[in-house]
Amino acid sequence: MFSKLPEPCKSIKKKTVDSLVPGAKDRTGTTDKSNDVSTRGGCSWNGLDNKGVDGSQYRWLSVSFMRYDSDQTRGPGDKLAGEYYAKQVDGVKATEGAKKVESQAADSIGDQATVVTYDLRKTDADFKYATVVTRTENVVATVVYNGAGYQGAKSPKASDLLKDAQKAAKETVASVAAANK
C-alpha cells in the first residue's frame, strides 16, 4: 500500500514532456488545485508547435492521481482504488461526442491498465485522444493525451498518440513507487 503520491508535475520526465508536447507553454506543467495533495493531484501541459505555412500541431497531456487508504467500513485501499479505476474507465468510454471509441487492457503498466482511444470534434478541429487509466495497488493514475492539426496540418495518428500515452503512463506508475521508497 502506498502512503503518498509523487509530485504530479514531476511524475512524467521532462524529456518525455518535451517530446510529447512540443512548444509547451509551460514545460514545468500546470498543477491541478487539490484540497488534499496526499490523496489527489494532477498536472497538465499543452502547446502549439507552429510550423507556419505547413500548419500547426496542438498537443495536450495530463496526469491525475487518486490514492485510497484502507478504511474499516469501506474496505482495503486497493479494493477502493479498483472501484474508482473501473468508474474512470467507464467515464472515459462515455465521453460526450466521442466517436470511434475503442478500449483494451494494457499489459505491464501497474496492476491494472486500460487504454481508451477516440476521436472528438471541437473548436473546428478533429482531435484524437488516448487515455490510459492505471491502478498500482491503492493508487489510480489517469494519463490523457490528445492532439489536433491546425491550418492544414494533418491530425496525429491515433496509434502514435496511444504509444506515447502508454510511455507516459509507465513513467507515472514508476513515479508512485519512487515516491514511496
pTM of structure: 0.94
pLDDT for position 11: 97
Q: How far apart are the first and last CA of the chain?
A: 12
Domain boundaries, the chain: 8-179
Cell match 474496505: residue? 75
Phi/psi for 69 (5° steps) reads -90, 150
Range 112-116, long-range pairs (CB < 8 A, 24+ positions): 112/82, 112/85, 113/169, 114/85, 114/89, 115/162, 115/165, 115/166, 116/89, 116/92
Query: Tens place of pLDDT for every residue, the chain, 181 residues?
Result: 999 999 999 999 999 999 999 889 899 999 999 889 899 999 999 998 887 777 888 999 999 999 999 999 999 999 999 999 999 999 999 999 999 999 999 989 999 999 999 999 987 788 999 999 999 999 999 999 999 988 878 888 889 999 999 999 999 999 999 999 9
Q: Which fold has domain 8-179?
A: Protein Transport Mog1p; Chain A (3.40.1000)
User: Cα angle vertex 42, ends 25, 89, to 5°?
Assistant: 115
Contact 28, 52 (CB under 8 A): no
Contact 81, 135 (CB under 8 A): yes
| Separation between Cα atoms, residue 137 and residue 125, nearest integer Å | 38
Could you write out the DSSP letters of every residue in 39-65?
Answer: TEEEEEEEEEEE-GGG-EEEEEEEEEE
